[in-house]
Amino acid sequence: LPAPVSPERHAAIHGPLLSWYDRNKRDLPWRRTRDPYAIWLSEVMLQQTQVSTVIPYWERFLARFPTVKALASVPLDDVLSGWKGLGYYSRARNLHRAAQEVVERFEGKLPATAEELLTLPGFGRYTAGAVASIAFGEEAPIVDGNVARVLSRLFEVEGLPGDRDREATLWALASALVKGERPGDFNQALMEHGATVCRPESPLCLLCPVRDACIAFKKGRVDELPPAKVRAAPRKLFLALAVWPHAGTLLFARRADKGLFGGLWELPAVEVEEDTSEAEATERLATTLGAPLTLLGSLDSVRRQLTHRDLTLRLLRVTGGARPTKSVAFQELRWCTPQEAEALGMSTAMQRALDAALGHGVMGGDAVPAKKAPGRSARKATGP
């Protein structure tokens, strides 16, 4: 680990960054509140998601669930439907579980220390440090991607993202630097600086308030640090979906809580291979649902590009005699009208699949005929 940050170096970074933040910080709604719950919610939503996307979600979610107790008291379905479209749904499940624990263990008030926050579901070291410092003023460090980049350049920290020694070094530096006045604002200043000035590409070094303290700048290594993480190619994943209309309703299934789309509702789906025939896919769906199915034809395939997966959803129009109401493969089955389905927590990918099915008139409107031939068109979309 590096030697502790010297008082001179601390002074050259802490004060100038705070002053810069006071002059240049973006006016974001969660910076106008002292409510620990609202601050926590913003930090959870901002994981893996851009600020511009989060703002309207944060405002709507707070209006719908204004307190920890309000959030804890509703069914998970309500929480997931409020999260619909944000992706990474394990965040919403953990948020709900943590809210229930805060009510049970802390009388509905978030604990004020990072150490206690770490005992709650969904709180890792970063989220605990962010909430403890911003909402409660604790000198708790944070390291996210932006902070890691800033510290890597300021202190010439080597190593690839994810390297254990590198991570330990960054957390030690963050712990030393956060000590002093306004720790919450300082942590936000580090993140803001990384997001707007000390950017991954084309950093604005001429505008940097701590340029004179930056070793990478002095050595001409800003573009080298941190080294880019090599991303694995997204894995191709194919799912066959049962589009089963009956009496104005469609069959929906709720997944187990773990894994991709965990705890969310969908048109019942099974994983298939790219070359799985429609007849075989229908058989797998029948086995999964525990009910005989008849294939009426195939509809469009819907494609979604997720962070780690290239997802293809194959829509199969099916029918059957006995209509299942439970299945060992799913938490729950439910026959819903399209209007009722709007209230279900559903991923964007599954919503697109439902929209495509409805666009084919499966509910008996202006039907676009199901294709009996194997050829399928693909609709491309991006995002989780």
Q: Domain 235-360 belongs to what topology?
A: Nucleoside Triphosphate Pyrophosphohydrolase (3.90.79)
DSSP 70-92: HHHHS-HHHHHHHHTTS--THHH
Note the helical H segments in 137-256.
145-155, 164-177, 183-196, 215-218
The residue extents of the domains of the chain are 7-219, 235-360
pLDDT tens readout for residues 46-94: 999 999 999 999 999 999 999 999 999 999 999 999 999 999 999 999 9
Looking at the DSSP bridge assignments, the partners of residue 316 are 242, 298
Number of Cα atoms under 13 Å in the Cβ half of residue 235: 6
Tokens of 237: 């994943």
Q: Domain 7-219 belongs to what topology?
A: Endonuclease III; domain 1 (1.10.340)
* Catalytic residue chosen out of the listed positions 43, 139, 266, 278: 43
Tens digit of pLDDT at every position of the chain (384 positions): 555 799 999 999 999 999 999 999 999 999 999 999 999 999 999 999 999 999 999 999 999 999 999 999 999 999 999 999 999 999 999 999 999 999 999 999 999 999 999 999 999 999 999 999 999 999 999 999 999 999 999 999 999 988 999 999 999 999 999 999 999 999 999 999 999 999 999 999 999 999 999 999 999 999 999 998 888 889 999 999 999 999 999 999 999 988 889 899 999 999 999 999 999 999 999 999 999 999 999 998 999 998 889 999 999 999 998 899 999 999 999 999 999 999 999 999 999 999 999 999 999 854 444 555 343 333 333 344
Tokens of 46: 């901002």
For residue 340, indicate whether it is catalytic: no
- Give Rg (Cα) of the chain: 25
